[in-house]
Structure 1
Amino acid sequence: MVATAPTYTISWEKLPDDFVLPDDPVDNINQPALAAALTESLQLAGHLPDMAFTSTNYGMCATVNGKFVVKAPDWAYVRQISVPRSEVERSYTPRLQGEVPTMVLEFLSESEGGEYSVKATYPPGKFFFYEQVLHVPNYGIFEPKSGTLELYRFDDAGRYTLQSVNEQRRFWIPEMQLFLGGWQGGRENRNGYWLRWWDAEDNLLLWGFEQAERDRQTIAQERQHAEQERQRAEQERQRAERLAAKLRAAGLDPEQID
């Protein structure tokens, strides 16, 4: 017997309103926080255009061999939709309703989530779905405990290729003109590893509380500088008064001296 590769036909259809979406809980309490952190810094830095959206555990759809397939990545970024936002409240069908997601991310947890599954038969595995069905340019798999990020990019051969990190252990995402990498620190009462963005000049895209702290420090520095200038001006005034007093004591009019 000779094994043959399964064949499949892909189409892009709107998910019926009566389609029952999975209502599975998230695998880990950290997943929503990790996803929210990614979106927040993009938005604050102006890297989230009006027609773009990010999602968390939200259905990405396609029809494979006449059957609807829905995968809900832990985080996804879509650069532009072509329909009113009200039409993608329940799910999103790329090509029909807008662009293919620029990036999808999966956060590994204790349970097996099939992030590496290349199963082609129905229902297809996540890796296969993102690679061979959606053709997502960037697929990342993040291990929160170790801070390890694997990034796969869709290549000219129509396959995912595992990318190498740069010297700062970050990945360049050309479609977003940003670097993505692991970062260790605290947020929302959680100390551990996070995914962070950096711009082309290696500036970290800040979270809200970091931006507020930086603004506070900037205001404090400006106030300190203003106080130093006031004290300097006061010292100059006092020096001028002492000089004028000495001139008057010598019988000279300070106003007549150039």
Structure 2
Amino acid sequence: MTLSKPKPALSLPDHRQLPESDATFVKNFQEHPQSLLLTSAIRPILDALHPDSHYAIGQDCGIYWRLTEPPERGAEAPDWFYVPNVPPLLNDERRRSYVMWKEIIAPLIAIEFVSGDGSEERDTTSPFANDDSKAGKFWVYEQAIRIPFYAIYEVEKAAVEVYKLVAQNYQKCSPNERGHYPIPPLGVELGIWQGEYINQSLPWLRWWDSEGNLLLIGDERAEQEKQRAERLAAKLRELGIDPDEV
């Protein structure tokens, strides 16, 4: 009797074995500061939600959702996304990509910055349409990765669309009375803010709290504190008190 050799266990690639870049680059000078603006403002909220620091923010990082050849064909790279309840490092190594079959937990929200006509961000093409079909971004986020919230930001139109996953499909959300889109799991709202950031005056995508207060970035928080201190000092001087002695 001849015993057959046991088949080797199937080993799926992880973030170290998959490409972390497809040689593309940021398309314009607005996208990088836009990502910084989103991250800086939301970090205090995320730090409060995750005292153990178990969350990850990706910016143009690949999310692998299926195995293909070449591997990059099975990934999408949102301009900005947040994943709750995952360690920021893997075995003390930086994340090279986010691999769904290794992590299981999907991002809570993905945001795309439109640089063309918006068709790429709204592409619902199924990869099963024919053998050569590349899945559209919208289809991947909705049907494959199943991201609960998907936002499409168009700086040229000073507009953002937000979709919420309901049952099996995305439903387009309606703005509230402030023109913002609530993201209930985070207790924040997403909307357009016209202002200057890193010497560019543009309609930026920003966060507000549930009361409609703009979530400030570090520089803004520092400036707010400086103005508060100056007002207090002026009030003390009106009362004949030297602020330096208080």
TM-score band by shorter chain is 0.7 to 0.9
CA 1:13 to 1:100, structure 2 compared with 1: closer, same or farther past 3 Å? Answer: farther
C-alpha distance in 2 between matches for 1:132 and 1:64: 16
Q: Deviations over 1:72-109 (max 9, x none)?
A: 11111111215744455210123632621011011111
**Cα distance in 2 between the residues matched to 1:225 and 1:40:** 32
Residue 171 of structure 2 is aligned with which of 161, 168, 174?
161
- After superposing the two structures, state which structure 1 stretch, 138-147 or 21-30, moved more: 21-30
Contact 2:16 2:96 in 1 (8 A): no
Percent identity over paired residues: 28
How far did 1:206 drift?
0.5
Unaligned runs of 5+ in 2: 1-11, 128-132, 242-246
What letter matches 2:115 in structure 1? Answer: S
Equivalent position of 1:212 in the other structure: 222
Would the alpha carbon gap of residues 180 and 112 (structure 1) be closer, same or farther in structure 2, given more than 3 Å must change?
closer
Which residue of 1 is the match for residue 211 of structure 2?
A: 201
User: Which of 51, 54, 71 is equivalent to 2:54?
Assistant: 51
Instruction: Assess, with a 3 A threshold, how the Cα gap between structure 1 residues 101 and 88 changes in structure 2: closer, same or farther.
Output: farther
> Equivalent of 1:129, from 119, 140, 147?
140
* Matched-pair contact (CA < 8 Å) for 1:82–1:98: no
Give the structure 1 partner of residue 197 of structure 2. 187
In structure 2, relative to structure 1, the CA distance for the partners of 1:55 and 1:65 (3 Å cut) is closer
Q: Which residue of 1 aligns with 2:231?
A: 221
Count of matched residue positions in the alignment of Structure 1 and Structure 2: 219
1:36 is matched with which residue?
A: 36
DSSP-derived class of the 1:206 partner: coil
1:92 aligns with 2:95: no
Deviation at 1:47, TM superposition (A): 2.6
- The separation in 1 between residues aligned to 2:64 and 2:15, in whole angstroms, is 7
Shift of 1:111: 6.6
Larger radius of gyration: 1
- Unmatched segments (≥5 aa) in structure 1: 1-11, 232-258
Counterpart selection for 2:120 from 84, 89, 114? 114
Secondary structure of 1:212 counterpart: helix
Query: Structure 2 counterpart of 1:33, which letter?
Result: P
Question: 1:228: Cα distance to partner?
Answer: 2.1
**Structure 2 counterpart of 1:207, which letter?**
I
When the two chains are superposed, the root-mean-square deviation of aligned CA atoms in Å is 2.4
**Which secondary structure state, in structure 2, belongs to the residue aligned with residue 145 of structure 1?**
helix
Residues of 1 paired with 2:212 and 2:117: CA distance?
35
Alignment correspondent of 2:86 = 81
The CA distance in 2 between the partners of 1:33 and 1:127, in whole Å, is 24
The range that moved more, 163-172 or 64-73, is 64-73
- The Cα offsets for residues 192-240 of structure 1, whole Å up to 9 and x where unpaired, read as 1111111112211002221111111111011112212226xxxxxxxxx
TM-score when scaled to structure 1?
0.77
